[in-house]
Amino acid sequence: MRDLAQRFPENPLLLPKDLVPSGPGLQIISLLNPGVFRYQEKIWLLVRVAEGVAEKEGVIFFPALNATGNTEIIEVPLNDPDLIATDARVINYKGLDYLTTISHLRLLFSEDGIHFTEPQSSASLFGAGYLERFGIEDCRVTRIDDTYYLTYTAVSDSGVGVGLQTTKDWQHFEPGGMILPPHNKDCAIFEEKINGKYFCLHRPSSKEIGGNYIWLAESSDSRQWGNHHCLIKTRPGLWDSARVGAGAAPIRTAQGWLEIYHGANEQHQYCLGAFLMDLDDPSKVIGRTTEPIMVPTEPYELSGFFGYAVFTNGHIVNGDQLTIYYGAADEFVCGAHFSITEILNQLN
Ligand code: MAN
């Protein structure tokens, strides 16, 4: 099936071997799901770097940060009866869930939006504290005035929630704590206040009644969020039947706030779609694509750490051109252009 994406011929833009691991004994397994922003005339990616430990026959390793912020490796024999290792991303050991990799966030910049390099003195962001023991992931970057708001997934044995940090210069970071408690992720703050309030999209999960749906919340200070509304649900039988989650900050268009989101089905196949919210009252959804706007089709999207996945949480807008940066097969960073008009024309 042809989708609306014009993939960069240079894809994948970043492969795990392109960066150096953060410490001895660690191996970069995936580079994925970058936050994207403009700063000092350059395009920057805040890439999720997922690290693990080199495989050894008959053994599985899983990393976690200890109280001093260093990575500790837990080692379990593969034939241990208390081990359930059926998903490449998550394992269960003695009834508790662990990640097979631990992620931090690394800054890379580019002049042309295609070739990215790590600056000499780059400030990588690592998980800190007991709520980020299993790392930080999938950061959305929103700019309001001269402040950048970083909303990311904070993972620990206490659950998966949304952490916030702010910065003005990408050197000093102000911690905002966990703004949305477990289970919650995929949080993107709007780049403008509406009627004096901050707004964000987020994705709480409800295991029993309900599901993995996209919600809206508002705040007067960007720290305390309330007045939650459920906006976008999964659709039985469609490509987004199992879970949906917001991408980066909504894009202001004349017709409304346009949001690119990911959806997955029961087979964990990740595609992208779009929906539109009213400009003055984003709790009103005024359109949604029935078909995906992007479907995994290329070899680097179909096979990798977690195949059949395209996932975005960062983009650049230039007139009608939307450039998304996305994680392909949970292993590579790629880029694709879209026409905003073409996406708007697909809305029902
Ligand atoms: C899911 C996947 C993983 C991620 C965990 C925790 O299992 O998205 O990549 O590490 O959630 O967020």
Q: What is the pLDDT of residue 1?
A: 56
Give the containing element (helix H, strand E) for 198. strand 198-204
CB of 88 closer than 6 angstroms to any ligand 1 atom: no
C-alpha 3 – ligand 1 centre gap (Å): 26
What 8-state DSSP symbol labels residue 11? -
Name residues whose C-beta falls within 8 Å of residue 180's C-beta, 6 or more positions apart in sequence.
Answer: 161, 162, 187, 202, 204, 217, 225
Name residues whose C-beta falls within 8 Å of residue 331's C-beta, 6 or more positions apart in sequence.
Answer: 15, 16, 29, 30, 31, 32, 300, 304, 305, 306
CB of 47 closer than 6 angstroms to any ligand 1 atom: no
CB of 217 closer than 6 angstroms to any ligand 1 atom: no
CB of 329 closer than 6 angstroms to any ligand 1 atom: no
Choose one of 90, 152, 202 to mutate for the ligand 1 pocket test, by most ligand atoms within 8 angstroms of C-beta: 90
CB of 90 closer than 6 angstroms to any ligand 1 atom: yes
CB of 153 closer than 6 angstroms to any ligand 1 atom: yes
Ligand 1 atom at minimal distance to the Cα of residue 306: 9
Give the containing element (helix H, strand E) for 196. none
Q: What is the pLDDT of residue 123?
A: 76
- Inter-residue contact 71 to 64 (CB < 8 Å): yes
CB of 89 closer than 6 angstroms to any ligand 1 atom: yes
Per-10-residue mean pLDDT of the chain, 348 residues long, equals 92 98 93 98 98 88 86 90 92 92 97 96 89 97 98 97 98 97 98 98 95 98 98 98 98 98 98 98 98 98 97 98 98 98 97
C-alpha 87 – ligand 1 centre gap (Å): 10
Per the document, the length of the chain is 348
Choose one of 96, 153, 158, 312 to mutate for the ligand 1 pocket test, by most ligand atoms within 8 angstroms of C-beta: 153
C-alpha 89 – ligand 1 centre gap (Å): 6
3-state secondary structure of 118: coil
Structure tokens at 178: 């966990």
- Of 98, 105, 127, give the one whose Cα is nearest residue 47: 105
CB of 160 closer than 6 angstroms to any ligand 1 atom: yes
C-alpha 279 – ligand 1 centre gap (Å): 32
Q: What is the pLDDT of residue 261?
A: 99
Q: What is the pLDDT of residue 176?
A: 97
**Ordered domains of the chain (ranges, CATH):** 6-344 (2.115.10.20)
- Of 137, 145, 254, 142, give the one whose Cα is nearest residue 199: 142
C-alpha 320 – ligand 1 centre gap (Å): 32
